[in-house]
Amino acid sequence: MRVDGRDVEPPEGAETLLDALRVLGVRSVKDGCAPQGQCGCCTVLVDGAPRVACVTPLRRVADREVTTLDGLSPDVLDLWERAFSATGASQCGFCTPGIIVRLEGLRVRSDALADRGAVDRALAAHLCRCTGWQTIVEAAALVAAGSVPPVDRDAGAASARATLELGAPQRVGPDVVLGRAGFASDTVPDGTPVGVVPDGTPVGVVPPDPEDHWVVAADAAAARAAAGTVQGRRTTLESRPPLDLPDGSWSGVLRTSWVDPAYLETDCSWCEPGGAPAPAAANGGAFGGKRTSPLPAAARRIADERGERVLLRWSREDCARRSAKRPPVAGGMLADGTGVLRVVRTPGVADAVAAAAPGLVVEQVDLAGPPTSVHLRAAGWAEAVLLSAAAGAASPLLRLDGDAVSVTQPGGGRATVTLDGPRVLVRVAPGDPLDAAVLRSYCIGAVHAALGWVCSESIAVSDDGQVHDLTVRSFGVLRSAQTPDVEVEVDGPTGPPLAVSDAVFVATAVAEWRRQGWPESLPTGVLPEVERSGA
């Protein structure tokens, strides 16, 4: 086959195009869900048509032309990089190479980038947790119009705003847009043995995880084969909130389900014997989902035990089973702010709740299921603010003024959200914005995440604690076509920079939940209002 203009012989043992490309050293093609074929991170062009490489058998591309992001001309790469930078269409940078390749294929084959419907349909093959889609659509429109501006930004200030919003280091720049942000699976030296978790390994053994709970082989394909891993599927088991409401005649009630953080770069780390392990989150923090990832420590331990460098990685199914989830709650509150909030036992959750609703008694419940974390976006205090809003109770973090919902996040800035028909209007007070495009991108991404949390996101967990929804598409993340347009206004730069996107997340969730009439349980199953005004 030909890869990016050069003739290559497929590597021995590779069965899929993704496996072959990774062995050949093509790092722009990412593995976010292989072999599910649902996240779009490994998208390439085969004879000019987009294909998902992880489900493309290698035999199907014999004597054909394969084009990855790296094979696009420098002028085309520069065009897309500037467009994505101008609109803030890339945050962690893991999904963007595949998205750019698909959009470039759309531009070359049909010149349809100016058609919002066509772009939405193209993006339906992808998942992006970070940006909320709108900034990606705007970047496509700039390319379609031939009006991509030069990018003149302070990279340090842009990275500082991203780091502030995430609570974890994140770089911003052209290399990030092109997927070159130093992900562990990309930086590991060639020839490093790969370790995977066999199917059926109990969730509770990671951590701790002695070496006999990992299968280590020469490469990822061999490790998966030796471990007997099986592709996960979407279950027929119904997702439901697992906790019962406390008894009482409450003014407001709320029940939530298990929710997956849905980050795309699966947990991965490599380490030399006696060395420092590569971080599980190379650029960004998976919105708190990797704060407690066990893989760096496990990579160090197994490298030391084996006396050689090793790469450990979780599959998408492993992440679904083992990554930290948003803790489910069930609570009731009276109009005076008193009440009870039951929550799956999670370190730090009581303090998070108290910041928003000091009158709530927190009852932590031991429940079989995946691990939970208070580090996920606004976990604990977001639920307390929602419950206060539904009960008509005062909260130090919440103000309702007609249709406007204002939230101040602990230690951070303020956001006001108004639902104006199918539009979401956001006004933020972030102090010094540092970088307008990055700030706006994080605000739009927070709106998208909040609408998904209220309307559609949950995973099915059985009574014995087993996660049954193992595919990317089963998490319920809203697609581009399902996401309303968002307008962001920024108050004048007064004072030091403050994080504000969690406030946007919570204010949007309150506004959408109120629009739907405060139904008892989330997700509601009712999608947000969306209206497109033509191409």
The CATH number given to whatever domain includes residue 365 is 3.30.365
Q: Are 414 and 408 in contact (CB under 8 A)?
A: yes
161 and 226 belong to one structural domain: no
151 and 193 belong to one structural domain: no
pLDDT per residue over 247-303, tens digit each? 999 999 999 999 999 999 999 999 999 999 999 998 987 889 999 899 999 999 999
355 and 477 belong to one structural domain: yes
Query: What does 147-169 look like in DSSP terms, one character per residue?
Result: -PPP----HHHHHHHHHHHHTS-
Q: Which residue range(s) make up the domain with 219?
A: 183-230+267-313
pLDDT per residue over 411-430, tens digit each? 989 999 999 999 999 999 99
81 and 150 belong to one structural domain: yes
* Pairing outcome for strands 65-67 and 2-3: parallel
117 and 221 belong to one structural domain: no
Neighbours of 375 (CB within 10 A): 22
171 and 195 belong to one structural domain: no
Does any domain span residue 289? Answer: yes
pLDDT per residue over 72-111, tens digit each? 999 999 999 999 999 999 999 999 999 999 999 999 988 8
Look at residues 284, 260, 288 and name the one whose alpha carbon lies nearest to residue 438: 284
Pairwise CA distance, residues 389 & 405, whole Å = 9
191 and 112 belong to one structural domain: no
Tokens of 405: 């919902």
195 and 297 belong to one structural domain: yes
438 and 388 belong to one structural domain: yes
pLDDT per residue over 428-448, tens digit each? 999 999 999 999 999 999 999
Total-model pTM? 0.96
Query: 504: phi > 0 → left, psi -120 to 50 → alpha, else beta; which?
Result: alpha
